[in-house]
Structure 1
Amino acid sequence: MAPLSTLPADPHAAPAEEVLAHLQADAAGLTEAEAAARLAQFGPNRLPEVAQRGWLMRFLAQFHNVLIYVLIGAAALTIGLGHYVDAGVILAVVLANAVIGVVQEGKAEQAMGAIRQMLAPHAAVLRGGRRLTVAGEALVPGDVVLLEPGDKVPADLRLIEANGLALQEAMLTGESVPVDKGTDAVAVDAPLGDRRGMAYSGTLVTKGTGRGIVTSTGAATEIGRIGGLLAGVETLTTPLVRQMDHFARWLSLLILLISGLLLAFGTFVQHRDFAELFMIVVGMAVAAIPEGLPAVMTITLAIGVQGMARRNAIVRRLPAIEAIGAVSVICTDKTGTLTRNEMTVATVAVPGGRYAVAGEGYAPDGAITPAGGRLGDLARAAALCNDAELHCKAGIWGVEGDPMEGALLAFAGKVLPEAASGWARLDEIPFDSRHRFMAVLNRGEDGVLVHVKGAPERVLNMCRDQSGAEGPEPIDRAHWHALAEEIAGQGQRMLALAVCTPAGDSIDEHHIEGGLTLLGLVGLIDPPRPEAIAAVAECRAAGIRVKMITGDHAGTAAAIARMIGLENPARVLTGADLEALDDAALGAAVRETDVFARTSPEHKLRLVMALQAQGQSVAMTGDGVNDAPALKRADAGIAMGLKGSEAAKEAADLVLADDNFASIAAAVREGRTVYDNIKKVISWTLPTNGGESMTVIVALLLGLSMPVTAVQILWINLITGITLGLALAFEPTEPGTMRRPPRQRSEPILSGALVWHVVLVSALFLAAVFGMFAYAMDRGYPLALAQTIAMNTLVVLEIFHLFFVRNLHGTSLTWAAARGTRVIWATVLGVTAGQFAITYIPLLQRVFGTQAVPLADGILIVAVGAAFFALIEIEKQIRLGLRG
Structure 2
Amino acid sequence: MDHNYHAMEATAALEALGTSVAGLSDDEAASRFQSYGPNRLPQAPKRSLFLRFLSHFHNILIYVLLGAAVITLVLDHYFDAAVIVAVVIANAVIGFIQEGKAEKAMESIRRMLAPHAAVLRDGERRSIDGEALVPGDIVLLEAGDKVPADLRLIRAHGLQIQEAILTGESVPVEKTAEPVTADISLGDRLCMAFSGTLVTSGQGRGVVVATGAGSEIGRISGMLAAVEVLTTPLVRQMNVFAKWLTVLILLIAAVLLVFGYFVEHHDFTEMFMAVVGLSVAAIPEGLPAVLTITLAVGVQAMARRHAIVRRLPAIETLGSVSVICTDKTGTLTRNEMMVASIAVAGQVFSLEGDGYAPDGAVKLADIPVRGLDHIDLADLARAAASCNDASLHRRDGFWAVEGDPMEGALLAMAGKIGVEVRQELSGRTQSDTIPFDAKHRFMATLHHDHPDHADIFVKGAPEQVFAMCANQRGGSGGVAAFNEAHWRQVAEDIAAGGQRVLAIATREVAREQMVLHLSDVQGALTLLGLVGLMDPPRAEAIEAVAECREAGIRVKMITGDHARTASAIARLIGLDNSEKVLTGTDLDGMDDAQLAAAVLNTDVFARTNPEHKLRLVMAFQSQGITVAMTGDGVNDAPALKRADAGIAMGRKGSEAAKEAAEFVLADDNFASIVSAVREGRTVYDNIKKVISWTLPTNAGEAMTIVVALLFGLTLPVTPIQILWINLITAVTLGMALAFEPTEENTMRRPPRPRQEPLLTGGLLWHIVLVSVLFLGDVFGIFTYALDRGYSIDLARTMAMNTLVVMEIFHLFFIRNIYGASLTWKAVRGTRVVWATVIAIVMAQFAITYLPPMQRLFATEAVPVFDGILIIGVGVALFAIIEVEKQLRLSVPRWRR
Q: What TM-score comes out, normalization by structure 1 length?
A: 0.71
CA deviations 1:173-221 (Å, max 9, x no partner) are xxxxxxxx999xxxxxxxxxxxxxx9996439997899xxxxxxxxx99
How far apart are 1:636 and its partner, in Å? 4.4
Other-structure match for 2:581: 570
How far apart are 1:463 and its partner, in Å? 6.3
How far apart are 1:278 and its partner, in Å? 1.9
Other-structure match for 1:324: 318
Q: 2 CA distance for matches of 1:121 and 1:438?
A: 20
Q: CA 1:249/1:273 → structure 2, altered by over 3 Å: closer, same or farther?
A: same
How far apart are 1:754 and its partner, in Å? 2.1
Residue number among 525, 537, 544 corresponding to 1:535 in the alignment: 544
Q: CA 1:587/1:272 → structure 2, altered by over 3 Å: closer, same or farther?
A: farther
Residue number among 357, 363, 366 corresponding to 1:363 in the alignment: 357
Q: 2 CA distance for matches of 1:825 and 1:108?
A: 26
Q: 2 CA distance for matches of 1:690 and 1:182?
A: 66
Question: Which residue identity is paired with 2:238?
Answer: M
2:102 pairs with 1:105: yes
Other-structure match for 1:411: 413
CA deviations 1:8-43 (Å, max 9, x no partner) are xxxxxxxxxxxxxxxxxx9999xxxxxxxxxxxxxx
Other-structure match for 1:259: 253
Q: Is the 8 A contact 2:470 2:481 kept in 1?
A: no
Question: Which residue identity is paired with 1:381?
Answer: D
2:86 pairs with 1:92: no
Other-structure match for 2:701: 692
Other-structure match for 2:783: 774
For the residue of structure 2 that corresponds to 1:106, the secondary structure is helix
Question: Which residue identity is paired with 1:380?
Answer: A
Q: Is the 8 A contact 1:236 1:635 kept in 2?
A: no
Q: 2 CA distance for matches of 1:290 and 1:88?
A: 16
Q: How does 1:479-498 map to 2 (within 5 A)?
A: 479-484=486-491, 492-497=500-505
Q: CA 1:167/1:182 → structure 2, altered by over 3 Å: closer, same or farther?
A: closer
Q: Is the 8 A contact 1:352 1:373 kept in 2?
A: no
How far apart are 1:383 and its partner, in Å? 3.8
**Number of residue pairs the alignment of both structures matches:** 776
Q: Is the 8 A contact 1:340 1:526 kept in 2?
A: yes
Q: Is the 8 A contact 2:802 2:874 kept in 1?
A: yes
Question: Which residue identity is paired with 1:480?
Answer: W
Question: Which residue identity is paired with 2:688?
Answer: K
Q: Is the 8 A contact 2:376 2:477 kept in 1?
A: no
How far apart are 1:785 and its partner, in Å? 1.2
Other-structure match for 1:287: 281
Other-structure match for 2:298: 304
Other-structure match for 2:4: none
For the residue of structure 1 that corresponds to 2:675, the secondary structure is helix
For the residue of structure 2 that corresponds to 1:362, the secondary structure is coil
How far apart are 1:714 and its partner, in Å? 1.3
Q: 2 CA distance for matches of 1:236 and 1:604?
A: 30
For the residue of structure 2 that corresponds to 1:741, the secondary structure is coil
Q: CA 1:402/1:702 → structure 2, altered by over 3 Å: closer, same or farther?
A: closer
CA deviations 1:642-673 (Å, max 9, x no partner) are 44455655665544333323112112222222
User: Is there any run of 5+ residues in structure 2 with no aligned partner, and where?
Assistant: 1-6, 11-40, 120-136, 148-152, 165-173, 177-191, 207-215
CA deviations 1:588-645 (Å, max 9, x no partner) are 7776776594336xx8778767766765544444445555676567654544444445
Q: 2 CA distance for matches of 1:392 and 1:119?
A: 20
Other-structure match for 1:802: 811
Q: Is the 8 A contact 1:75 1:91 kept in 2?
A: no
How far apart are 1:273 and its partner, in Å? 2.5
For the residue of structure 2 that corresponds to 1:873, the secondary structure is helix
How far apart are 1:408 and its partner, in Å? 1.8
How far apart are 1:787 and its partner, in Å? 0.6
Q: Is the 8 A contact 1:234 1:633 kept in 2?
A: no
For the residue of structure 2 that corresponds to 1:852, the secondary structure is coil
How far apart are 1:713 and its partner, in Å? 0.8
Q: CA 1:397/1:777 → structure 2, altered by over 3 Å: closer, same or farther?
A: same
2:378 pairs with 1:380: yes
Other-structure match for 2:689: 680
Q: How does 1:52-451 map to 2 (within 5 A)?
A: 71=65, 74-75=68-69, 77-79=71-73, 81-82=75-76, 83-106=80-103, 150=140, 165=157, 202-203=198-199, 238=232, 240-241=234-235, 243-245=237-239, 247-316=241-310, 320-332=314-326, 337-338=331-332, 344-355=338-349, 357=351, 361-365=355-359, 370-372=365-367, 376-385=374-383, 386-387=385-386, 388=389, 389-399=391-401, 404-416=406-418, 418=420, 425=427, 431-432=433-434, 438=445
User: Is there any run of 5+ residues in structure 1 with no aligned partner, and where?
Assistant: 1-25, 30-47, 123-146, 156-160, 173-180, 184-197, 211-219
Q: 2 CA distance for matches of 1:672 and 1:657?
A: 20
How far apart are 1:780 and its partner, in Å? 2.2
How far apart are 1:574 and its partner, in Å? 8.1
Question: Which residue identity is paired with 1:377?
Answer: I
Q: 2 CA distance for matches of 1:802 and 1:526?
A: 49
Question: Which residue identity is paired with 2:242?
Answer: A
Question: Which residue identity is paired with 1:85?
Answer: A
Other-structure match for 2:758: 749
Other-structure match for 2:609: 598
**Larger RCO: 1 or 2 (CA < 8 Å, sep 6+):** 1
How far apart are 1:384 and its partner, in Å? 2.5
Q: 1 CA distance for matches of 2:59 and 2:499?
A: 53
Q: CA 1:779/1:252 → structure 2, altered by over 3 Å: closer, same or farther?
A: same
Q: How does 1:489-508 map to 2 (within 5 A)?
A: 492-497=500-505
Q: CA 1:358/1:705 → structure 2, altered by over 3 Å: closer, same or farther?
A: farther
Q: How does 1:788-827 map to 2 (within 5 A)?
A: 788-827=797-836
For the residue of structure 2 that corresponds to 1:571, the secondary structure is strand
Q: How does 1:731-746 map to 2 (within 5 A)?
A: 731-746=740-755
Q: 1 CA distance for matches of 2:705 and 2:253?
A: 11
Q: CA 1:362/1:206 → structure 2, altered by over 3 Å: closer, same or farther?
A: farther
CA deviations 1:223-259 (Å, max 9, x no partner) are x9xx99x99x999975643553454344334323322
For the residue of structure 1 that corresponds to 2:741, the secondary structure is coil
Q: 1 CA distance for matches of 2:259 and 2:888?
A: 39
Question: Which residue identity is paired with 2:865?
Answer: A
CA deviations 1:407-429 (Å, max 9, x no partner) are 32211223336588689836877
Q: How does 1:856-871 map to 2 (within 5 A)?
A: 856-871=865-880
Q: Is the 8 A contact 1:326 1:743 kept in 2?
A: yes
Q: 1 CA distance for matches of 2:803 and 2:601?
A: 54
Q: CA 1:741/1:65 → structure 2, altered by over 3 Å: closer, same or farther?
A: farther
The percentage of aligned residue pairs carrying the same residue is: 54
Question: Which residue identity is paired with 1:570?
Answer: V
Q: 2 CA distance for matches of 1:398 and 1:204?
A: 27
2:734 pairs with 1:725: yes
Residue number among 456, 467, 485 corresponding to 1:478 in the alignment: 485
Q: Is the 8 A contact 2:610 2:635 kept in 1?
A: no
Q: CA 1:261/1:340 → structure 2, altered by over 3 Å: closer, same or farther?
A: same
CA deviations 1:769-791 (Å, max 9, x no partner) are 11111111122222111111111
With 451-460 and 790-799 compared, the bigger mean Cα shift is at: 451-460
Question: Which residue identity is paired with 2:490?
Answer: L
Q: 2 CA distance for matches of 1:511 and 1:635?
A: 46
For the residue of structure 2 that corresponds to 1:398, the secondary structure is strand
With 74-83 and 835-844 compared, the bigger mean Cα shift is at: 74-83
Q: 2 CA distance for matches of 1:623 and 1:639?
A: 6
Q: 2 CA distance for matches of 1:649 and 1:610?
A: 23
Question: Which residue identity is paired with 2:140?
Answer: G
How far apart are 1:846 and its partner, in Å? 1.6
Q: CA 1:475/1:598 → structure 2, altered by over 3 Å: closer, same or farther?
A: closer
How far apart are 1:742 and its partner, in Å? 1.2
Other-structure match for 1:16: none
Question: Which residue identity is paired with 1:87?
Answer: I
Q: CA 1:330/1:399 → structure 2, altered by over 3 Å: closer, same or farther?
A: same
Q: CA 1:170/1:734 → structure 2, altered by over 3 Å: closer, same or farther?
A: farther
With 705-714 and 461-470 compared, the bigger mean Cα shift is at: 461-470
Q: Is the 8 A contact 1:243 1:748 kept in 2?
A: no
For the residue of structure 2 that corresponds to 1:868, the secondary structure is helix
